[in-house]
Structure 1
């Protein structure tokens, strides 16, 4: 009993000292307000909106999320909402634990999606008919367009975080991505002259111009896109156009879908004379990393940085 009383006395004394120190301490100078704290109980109901899309009202924190967007799926898990995800589309292959199904934003109807009993569905912005059907079932739908820039991508991540009750984690993630990307760009020496590049989306020479999201990423390094004169975000180039442009760098974003390799490119008629091929500047990208705008876009930026550095160091 004596030991118990002694322990209680020590605890009371410690609490008294802590209270006294807190009460008597000089108030520190004003600092920046702290970042938002995840508190799902107080954060809902919430109205969220991705710029250019309709606002979505969520009465409470979603517990059964269906993601029909591979980028959204990656983002959900990165911000800590993975446990709330009950189903993802057939193309959501990252992370591995995501519950993949045969669902598709373009081929599945509202009844099939509704069978998952979702309280939030995230889909690409071209799934308008599906969205209308789900809204008729009183299922909130957040449509996610392809961003035009990295800033748009950060904003989309933050909105997904807000919609799922992970506001702070999403803001932290976007902040880390921004810092990592800025550091990679700033640490990449500028070449003596602007470098040209070709970004291959498919072996039949569909590509992405500077009007696309991925094109805006390349632009951060001052690279010149040989496809820009073709216009539009995703034109198809002729083989003659590519050979005549003779790009300094070739980036392959069709290595997984179509098994295109640097060796296969070198074997194309006339391509072995291209500067990028002769000097070993054909970069094999991960299709998914190059085609999505979620957390792994940092990996794409790193690949571009390494390729640009290689042109200066041989």
Structure 2
């Protein structure tokens, strides 16, 4: 539950090429089938119950079709924010927005069946576990909303941007170790998670991996002793907005002022949202990681 909350609460415009400027060809695009859901016509009223999906919908130029988003969908600013809950979705409250398509990250409490009784289609877009899954969901959301060209363009552009950022990042003489903090109780993310795979592109060593990167679904709880013993060269804080963590608060923890990352000023407070979502803003995360690795490589 802690990890689910972190993913849901995790708080850019994305460049689009000429292909994405074209409007949707609804006659050619519909009906479309995504998984087990067939969408007969371009949805005009979309409710998003997934912060990552909300960001992606707006990046696809499907924003004008979105009539409501859940309480944790705080980006972009113009999204129609509501009190709707993604953790405990209320079919009646959702139906009040008269959607013809609902996008959610999970079929919580039988949401799809409940909405189907009112004639509303529900598209489940699970949290991406890999970058390829994220690119695939960009394309799927594009198809589902009548923006297939935009979805394909967004996937290509995001992949190209990430590849360039990684290629342009200096390679340290030896792999740098890092600690990724989800909260102050030392929950972390291994290389088997979406975020872990993004960081692995930079040839970093994840201290949370241990002997089994799949442990606890990829989100193990570490101990202060283990972190101190591992002495990471980099510390990434994905709990800066939620919990007020920063370089100063980390240095004040007992014994943490001895860590290499603290002594060399390599504690990076990230935007919690960008650090936890599979949206196109993963490019911003990669830029932040690249800057930290570049600084450490030059220091070394």
TM value normalised by structure 2: 0.89
Match of 2:26 in 1: 40
Greater relative CO (CA pairs within 8 A, separation 6+): 2
Match of 1:284 in 2: 269
Match of 2:130 in 1: 149
Match of 2:178 in 1: 197
* Distance change >3 Å, CA 97–CA 307, structure 1 → 2: same
SS across alignment from 2:128: coil
Question: Is 2:65 aligned against 1:80?
Answer: no
Alignment of 1:66-145 (within 5 A): 66-125=47-106, 127=108, 129-145=110-126
Match of 1:206 among 187, 192, 216: 187
Structure 1 segments (4+ residues) deviating >4 Å = 34-37
Q: Where do 5+ consecutive residues of structure 1 fail to align?
A: 1-33, 50-54
Question: 1:20-58: per-residue Cα shift (whole Å, max 9, x none)?
Answer: xxxxxxxxxxxxxx9997301331121123xxxxx2111
RMSD across aligned C-alpha pairs, in angstroms?
Answer: 1.6
Question: Is 2:231 aligned against 1:250?
Answer: no
Segment drifting more, 62-71 vs 101-110: 101-110
SS across alignment from 2:42: coil
In the alignment, is the contact (CA less than 8 A) between 2:89 and 2:108 conserved in 1?
Answer: no
TM value normalised by structure 1: 0.85
What is the deviation of 1:150? 0.8
Match of 1:161 among 116, 130, 142: 142
Question: 1:270-294: per-residue Cα shift (whole Å, max 9, x none)?
Answer: 0000000000000111100000011
Q: Distance in 2 between matches of 1:37 and 1:104?
A: 31
Question: 1:187-215: per-residue Cα shift (whole Å, max 9, x none)?
Answer: 11221111111000111111111111000
What is the deviation of 1:128? 5.3
In the alignment, is the contact (CA less than 8 A) between 1:44 and 1:59 conserved in 2?
Answer: yes
Match of 2:158 among 155, 177, 197: 177
Q: Distance in 2 between matches of 1:64 and 1:235?
A: 39
Kindly tell me the number of residue pairs found equivalent between the two proteins.
Answer: 276
Q: Distance in 1 between matches of 2:246 and 2:26?
A: 46
Question: 1:154-187: per-residue Cα shift (whole Å, max 9, x none)?
Answer: 0001100100000101111111111110001111
State the structure with more CA Rg: 1
In the alignment, is the contact (CA less than 8 A) between 1:65 and 1:119 conserved in 2?
Answer: yes
